[in-house]
Each structure stands twice: as C-alpha cells, then as structure tokens.
C-alpha cells in the first residue's frame, strides 16, 4: 500500500485554496525518525510518521493530500485545531454574565466545533518554526461566529523521540467561553489501511455522558460499568461500535465524552493495534476525552494514500471540555476572562508492544 514519502524539513507550499489563500506545510522531525507535518490551515496535523524497528516510518493519522481536500471536506476536521469551542453547544447559544449570545449554527440548530467558519478553516500565522517545534497563532475577533471578546490563541507543536506534544494557550479582552481541541484521527495500522475495528482502546474514565440523537448530553454523567462504554480495560473497537446498545445506535457508533479520572497531566487513553504492535498513549490535562469512531466518514474524502475514507477508518481522541458546558457549567468550566490564560496540554506517546495486547500500563 503506498505511503506518503517523508517530507523535507521546514515550510513548503501545500497548494492554494479556492479563494486564493496559500497553504503552508511545516515538517518537524525527531532524531529517531518520527516526522510530524502540520499545516498553517487550521493548525492541522496532516501526517504523522512513526518509526518502526526496521527504521521505516508509518503514517498513523488521517489527512488530505492537498489544500483542495481540506477546502472541499473541511467539516471532516481532519487533524485540525477546532474552536472556539470544540464539540457542541446546544441551540447555538449560551448566556454569560446575564447576556445572551447567538452563535453560528452548523449542525441543525447546534453550534459544532465553533460554527460554520470555525478555526479549522482559518490560516494561522507562523510565529516560530524549527526542526522540532512550531508555534502558530490565530486572532479571533470579537463577535467571531457570535462569540464575545477577541481571543488570541497559540498552538505549539513539539516532537522529541517518540512523543508529539501540543500546547494551546489563549487570552481574551472580554469575558467569553473557550474550549479548543485537536481533532486528529488515528489508525495505527497505517493511514489508508481500512477500519480501526481491530484496534484496542482503553480510556481512563469511570463515567461518560449519554447523548440524544442530536449528540447533545441527555443530562449528567453516567457510570460506564455494564455498558459498551466501559473501556477501563482494553476493548476491541469493532465489537463496541456494533453492539446494538441504544447509545451506540443513536449516533451510529461512539461519539461520546468520557469524564477522565484525576487532574493535571495524566494518561487519558491507550490505543493499540495488536497486529503491528504499535500503541499510542494519550496524556492530557483536560477534564474530558471525546471518543469518535469516524461515524460520518462516507467514502468521499480523499486520504494521503489515495484511498477515500469510509466509516470507521480512524478514531478521533479529542482532549477537551465536555460538550455544551457553556450551558451546563457543572460539567466543565468553559469561561475565560480578561487577565486569565487558557492553557491545555496534550501528548501523544508512541511505542511498540513486546508483550501481550493490553500490557502497556501507565
């Protein structure tokens, strides 16, 4: 199966959008051969090659091969930093300090991932770039997609050995809500290899958020015990997305927020591909992890391998706040005020398993 060839270090052209904007791709490389490609469009991870024992690399994230793919299929959100608020805000509105704000509705009456012209569609400014680090910045003006306050958001990607780190930092000049997150889809068998059915997933969570057909929370948190959302031990994804449970059927797979144990930077998930031995440990300091099994991939979006992505060809592990928290503040604190700094950290740590599946432990 063809794989994208390793890219040269530094920035290079990735093509032009239909409106004439130029897109740049930056390539970061670690000494061991790990290679990360990031676009200034949406601060998106376009490819991530992890080295194998023979020294060759395998791309393990979904991405489009050129700028036109991201323009035509923007709402697949492949690898992008989405915002202002990742996930859903019900009714595309919220109240803050006694004032109501109407947002861009782009999923029926819901605001999804910041609205119709969210951060994934923007060209971010390159602040600094080196072989191992990249800092991108986006200025979101007051009223952007209906959100109050100007927000200045920076995304810093770094690579070192087998770790890719993403740090998000934001400030505002007026009270607002904020919750950006990365929306990378992983397939540890290799991009373009088919579904992630045979992957094993562990999530460090004892509770999750049940949702309705609109993918908005039905109420509060529920225990994962006795449900297909009990991922406290590694579970085969194919079995869970085809189990017939009402919550799975409601959204055509898994598209649910898990309430992570603990606080601070800690392991949130372990994803394994037993056939290759590859595994990914995701660490974050965010309160929740949205697990999305690519339910809406419909065979139209082109991938870097030339294969078009179908349902289940990747799994997104989105470290974020809980959905609809601007309207349900007991779930997550989504408010950012002047003088405060929003900071979040996510790390993807890769390795090769040498013992039985599920043997990797934090």
Residue length of the chain: 362
The span from the CA of 338 to the CA of 14, in Å, is 36
CA torsion 31-32-37-38 (nearest 10°) is -60
Options 26, 64, 183, 322, the catalytic residue: 183
Beta bridge partners, 57, equal: 51
Q: Does the active-site annotation cover 183?
A: yes
Options 204, 272, 281, 318, the catalytic residue: 318
The span from the CA of 83 to the CA of 71, in Å, is 17
Strand 255-260, strand 335-336: pairing:
unpaired
CA torsion 69-107-210-324 (nearest 10°) is 100
Residues 6+ apart with CB under 8 A from 6: 35, 49, 57
Q: Are 124 and 143 in contact (CB under 8 A)?
A: no
Q: Does the active-site annotation cover 318?
A: yes
Q: Are 348 and 163 in contact (CB under 8 A)?
A: yes
Tell me which residues are annotated as active site: 183, 318
């Amino acid at each position: 199966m063809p794989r994208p060839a390793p890219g040269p270090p530094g920035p290079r052209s990735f093509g032009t959008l239909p409106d004439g904007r130029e897109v740049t791709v930056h390539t970061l490389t670690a000494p061991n051969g790990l290679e990360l490609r990031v676009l200034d469009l949406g601060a998106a991870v376009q490819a991530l090659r992890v080295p194998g024992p023979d020294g060759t690399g395998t791309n393990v994230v979904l991405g489009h091969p050129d700028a036109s793919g991201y323009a035509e299929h923007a709402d697949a959100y492949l690898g992008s930093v989405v915002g202002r608020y990742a996930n859903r805000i019900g009714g595309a509105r919220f109240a803050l300090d006694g004032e109501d704000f109407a947002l861009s509705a782009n999923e029926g009456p819901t605001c999804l991932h910041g609205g119709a012209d969210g951060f994934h569609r923007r060209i971010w400014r390159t602040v600094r770039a080196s072989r191992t680090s990249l800092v991108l910045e986006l200025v979101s003006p007051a009223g952007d997609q209906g959100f109050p306050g100007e927000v200045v958001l920076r995304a810093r990607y770094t690579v070192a050995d087998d770790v890719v780190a993403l740090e998000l930092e934001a400030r505002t000049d007026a009270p607002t809500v904020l919750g950006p997150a990365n929306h990378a889809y992983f397939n540890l068998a290799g991009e373009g290899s088919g579904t992630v059915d045979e992957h094993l997933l562990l999530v460090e969570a004892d509770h999750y958020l049940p949702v309705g057909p609109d993918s908005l929370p039905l109420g509060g948190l529920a225990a994962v015990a006795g449900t297909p959302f009990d991922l406290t031990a590694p579970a085969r994804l194919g079995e869970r997305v085809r189990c017939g449970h009402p919550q799975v059927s409601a959204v055509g797979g898994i598209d649910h927020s898990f309430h992570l144990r603990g606080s601070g930077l800690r392991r949130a998930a372990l994803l394994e591909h037993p056939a290759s031995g590859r595994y990914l440990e995701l660490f974050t300091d965010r309160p929740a992890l949205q697990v999305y099994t690519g339910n809406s991939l419909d065979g139209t979006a082109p991938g870097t391998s030339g294969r078009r992505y179908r349902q289940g060809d990747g799994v997104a592990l989105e470290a974020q706040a809980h959905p609809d928290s601007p309207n349900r503040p007991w779930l997550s604190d989504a408010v950012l005020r002047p003088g405060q700094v929003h900071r979040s950290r996510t790390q993807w740590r890769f390795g090769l398993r040498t013992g039985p599946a599920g043997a990797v432990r934090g």
